[in-house]
Structure 1
Amino acid sequence: MAPRRPRGIPPPQCGKPVRLLKQVSELAREAGDERNRYADFLRAVSIVLVVVGHWIVIDLELDSDIPEGINALAQSSWIHWGTWAFQVIPLFFLVGGYANAVSWRHHRDEGYTWASWLRRRTLRLLWPTAIFVTAGLVFTPLASLWDVPVAILSEAAWAIAIILWFLAVYLAIAVVTPLSFRAHERWGIGFVLLLIALVAGVDAIRFLGEVDLVAYVNYALVWGAFHQVGYLWADGELPSLPSLAVGVVISLTAAFALVNWGPYPVSMVSVPGAEVQNTAPPTLALLMVGVAQIGFVLALRQLVRPRLEGDSNLWRATVAGNVAIMTVFLWHVVPVLVLAWILSTLGVSLPSPPGSFSWLAFQPIWILMLAVLLIPIVLVVRHGERPPEKLEKLASRETTGWSPLALGLGGVAIACVGLARLTLAGFWVGEPTVIPVWGALAFFVGGIIVLGTGSLGKAPR
């Protein structure tokens, strides 16, 4: 077999920040021209928007004796329109679909099985997530022994873990890439249009037939549709620039109509207390906003690509944004807790209420403080971005037959259920030293099953 294609942008193996910057520069120079640098750029921009968006909507009430976290979206309705720009999870699925298409086609052409590909792909997500989950399960209960108020600890444990929902959904969609990619090869954009029609049908049954449970099917349909567009991109089957522009206008118009005359809220991020949420489960309105986002960024690719060529500053920034992207995603809420403790200890109050001019003017300072706190966390934790070599070798073993595939898919399903449970419960369930056992157990057991299927195969040639 031919040598495997290098995996994305590897995390730098260095200790000091200065050495880290040097190695990022080296990675930027060494990146081949065959890379789709715009996909890397979108991934980096998306993680920045996700982090900043989360930081903005998290507000702190520090005037009382016990600090309290407040969701700014629940306090100010005009902020809801900003979620149309900051809700960029559709872009993650777009880029994920592109990367999975390229990766699966390469492995398939080289003769690797679905089970072998699944194991390698899954390990890259499960390993840094396992470190994060372990830290949450260990330190959150310990904090309950340090006289941290129960209300604060319970809320913090949930806020840190809530981001795990994305990984559960993404893993579930990514591991069936061989099936969804086959649908793409057969029907192309027609399959995307079918998914959009199904989303509309599901919402019609939900709101007109008052069958709420059917809405959960949209987790697969909405996010799966964005993932399928990534396949179109990978195969060069995207619509022309004028068609993309028309698509953006149509989808935005549809989104405006849905939130103004339909049952959908304006916010594309969940708002506490709202009867209908556009993300939990996802709706047709979110799908339309996501289609507009994707059409917009894909229309810009010819404009941005020249600025990513060679060793440009924009390409270096893109590489820097990708080298520890999982670490940043998983750990970016932790600085909020640290800053809340610091400000509460110092007796500092923050501008309020959310949405006011003083609150808005303070946001750049707020974001800067959190970014400063996030940097040392990333420098320490990023070493867990890449799995140990022994685990990589185990994941790389070639397996054939249906048993490794069935076990691998079953393991992923169990791990996703565990992540979903941790998303809902957080890392602490309200009693000292008590953790959400079943969620944690399902995640780790599922991951072990997936990785363990490598023992059924042989070392790669």
Structure 2
Amino acid sequence: MRRLRQLAERTPAGRERYADLLRALAITMVVLGHWAITVIGYDRADRPTGHSALGDLPWAWPVTWVAQVMPVFFLVGGYANAAALTAWRSRGRYATGWLIDRSSRLIRPTTALLVILALGGAIAWLSGADPAEIRTVVWFATIPLWFLVAYLVMVPLTPAMYALHRRVGLVAPLVLVGLVALGDVGRILGPAGLATGNYLFGWLAIHQLGFAWYDARRRSPAEPDQRVADRPGLRRRRLPTSRRAGAALLLTGLVALVLLTRVGPYPVAMLNVPGERLNNTAPPSVALLAAATAQLGLILLLQNPARRWLHRSGPWQAVIAVNAVVLTVFLWHLTAAVLLVSLLNALGVLPTPQVGSAAWWAWRVPWLLALAVVLAGLVAVFGPIEARTRRHGRASAGGPVRTALVAIGYAGVATGLLVNSMTGKTTPEPLGLPAPALVAYLAGAGVLRLLRTGWGSRG
């Protein structure tokens, strides 16, 4: 508590505490949402298995318009990346060094998860476990990693995309929304491959709005390039952040959602529902961007009371505490579910009530509490890896060789996570993780780790 009080007292006056609160709330909602809708049962081989309850609870689909909070995370990510990059450059440092520095907080906790899972898989395999079963368990534990693939693309694109934002302003996200709509046409009418780019364009559009939010919140309205500031229209206009603007965005997003899901071809749920023709998140659809618009409006409506609340010591200390281990919480929350289910099954007390029954709803409370206890134990063990991450001032040099190495490092990490996400959950994998994915990830993480120590700075 003393450490938290010290950190709270040292918070810079210009820090956007609201963005930190939104990040903490977004991840907390993801964790609770995943846990709450999980249905546990047994397969034909009498092994525990799980799936989402959304397919059996259609009345809950509109709730996902709020519960699907990945857009909030990418919005906050854009804000935080713009703020951090601007501060870094204000000290005369290169963007390459910023990318090296930024990689530490993301990659170290992720590496810990993958290494532990691979070691656990190896031990299980040597003990005679079926590689397909090992993969199924690890596949479930690594579901959250799909999000990191997208975010690890956003970070290295930030220097170029923020420079583009400074030149064209709100034109950039509007163009990206148009590209997402074009991809949706491909999904609906063909060719379906036209929608592949939506994995990039959808999240990038929301990330660009984060840049716009940061620029709107900057204390000084002065632009570094006055010629850019003098340009007319959307290229000059800042994102409106008043309550009136928030109400307009909320209403616009909700109306668009109703039209797209009731009149248009999009599913009501913003999360995957088995059997639906389209998935609004894989890849991101226009409907998901409409939900993001409504969420942005709600964020703007609540910003003033939230900021006043966050200037109280207690709430701000709580936000600091959560954000210190927020990625660890996200990465390990499904592993906590695997461990709890395995324990209850081994004890012969694993409840498997019918979805939507009174017993199923009654089980939600002890289920969530038990998962929270298991996750707390995991965070106590692995949280310090994230919380103790320090920035490396030495990682500020530029140079073409160093820049190329940064690109290789990020590409290796993202490729490894992508290969793992694309590998089937029953594919026989002795380590639980595909060997090419693990090699690519560790190679990329190793390059970035060496760069953080100053290696290659003369290149």
TM range (shorter): 0.7 to 0.9
Residue in structure 1 matched with residue 156 of structure 2 by the alignment: 175
Which residue of the partner structure matches residue 184 of structure 2?
203
Structure 1 residues 367-382: aligned runs within 5 Å: 367-382=368-383
Residue aligned with 2:93, SS? coil
List per-residue Cα deviations over 1:137-186 (Å, max 9, x = no partner). Answer: 11123224446566653322111112111111101011111111111111
Deviation of 1:359 (Å): 2.1
**In the alignment, which residue of structure 2 is the partner of 1:339?**
340
Q: Distance between the aligned counterparts of 1:79 and 1:359, measured in 2?
A: 15
- 1:349 Cα deviation after fit: 4.4
Aligned residue for 2:36? 56
Instruction: Give 5+ residue unaligned stretches, structure 2.
Output: 217-237
Shift of 1:36: 1.0
- Give distance in 2, aligned partners of 1:429 and 1:24: 45
Work out which of the residue numbers 265, 280, 292 in structure 2 matches 1:263.
Answer: 265
CA contact (8 A) 2:344 2:350 kept: yes
Superposition deviation, residue 304 in structure 1: 1.0
* Pairing 1:13-412 to 2, within 5 Å after superposition: 21-61=1-41, 65-146=46-127, 152-208=133-189, 210-236=190-216, 237-239=238-240, 240-311=242-313, 313-350=314-351, 352-385=353-386, 393=392, 396-412=394-410
Which residue of the partner structure matches residue 443 of structure 1?
441
Q: Is the 8 A contact 2:118 2:431 kept in 1?
A: no
What is the CA deviation profile of residues 41-87 of structure 1, one whole-angstrom value per residue up to 9, with x for unaligned ones?
Answer: 11111111010011122221159842221221233333333322221
Aligned-residue identity in percent:
35
Contact 1:411 1:445 in 2 (8 A): yes
Whether the 8 Å CA contact 1:429–1:435 is kept in 2: the answer is no
Q: Deviation digits for residues 239-284 of structure 1, max 9, x if unmatched?
A: 1321221111111111122122222222212234443211111111
Distance 1:259 1:24 in 2: 45
Aligned to 1:385, the other structure's residue is in SS state: helix
Question: How far apart in 1 are the matches of 2:68 and 2:149?
Answer: 18
The one-letter code matched in structure 2 to 1:188 is: G
On the 8 A contact 1:160/1:426 being kept in 2, the answer is no
Q: 1:425 aligns with which of 423, 426, 446?
A: 423
CA distance 1:274–1:100, shift in 2 (3 Å): same
- Tell me which residue corresponds to 1:17: none
In structure 2, distance between residues paired with 1:433 and 1:235: 45
| 2:98–2:395 CA contact under 8 A, matched in 1 | no
Letter aligned with residue 261 of structure 1: V
| Alpha-carbon distance change, 387 to 421 in structure 1, aligned in 2, over 3 angstroms | farther
Deviations 1:225-252 (A, max 9, x none): 1111111111113313212211111111
Closer, same or farther in 2 for the Cα pair 1:76/1:405, shift >3 Å? same
Residues 25 and 355 from structure 1, CA distance in 2 versus in 1: closer, same or farther, beyond 3 angstroms?
Answer: farther
Aligned CA distance change for structure 1 residues 67 and 360 (closer, same or farther; 3 Å): same
CA contact (8 A) 2:177 2:205 kept: yes
Give the Å deviation of 1:286.
Answer: 0.9
Change (3 A) 1:107 1:432: closer
CA deviation after TM superposition for structure 1 residue 35, in Å = 1.5
- By how many angstroms is 1:429 displaced? 4.0
Q: CA distance change for structure 1 residues 277 and 28 in 2, over 3 Å: closer, same or farther?
A: same
Counterpart of 1:219, as a letter, is: Y
435-444 vs 350-359, greater mean Cα deviation? 350-359
Which consecutive unaligned segments of at least 5 residues does structure 1 have?
1-20
Equivalent pair of 1:78/1:355 in contact (CA under 8 Å) = no
Q: Is the 8 A contact 2:397 2:457 kept in 1?
A: yes
CA shift at 1:314, angstroms?
1.7
Normalised to the residue count of structure 1, the TM-score between the two structures is 0.87
Change (3 A) 1:426 1:332: farther
C-alpha spacing 1:78/1:348, structure 2 compared with 1 (3 Å)? farther
Tell me the distance in 2 between the aligned counterparts of 1:252 and 1:147.
53
Shift in Å at residue 458 of structure 1? 6.0
Does the aligned pair in 1 maintain the 2:100–2:448 contact within 8 Å? yes
User: How far does residue 407 in structure 1 lie from its aligned partner after superposition?
Assistant: 2.5
1:421-452 C-alpha deviation (Å, 9 max, x unpaired) = 11233798425457411111111112223344
CA 180–434 in structure 1, closer or farther in 2 if over 3 Å, else same: closer
| 1-structure distance, mates of 2:456, 2:310 | 43
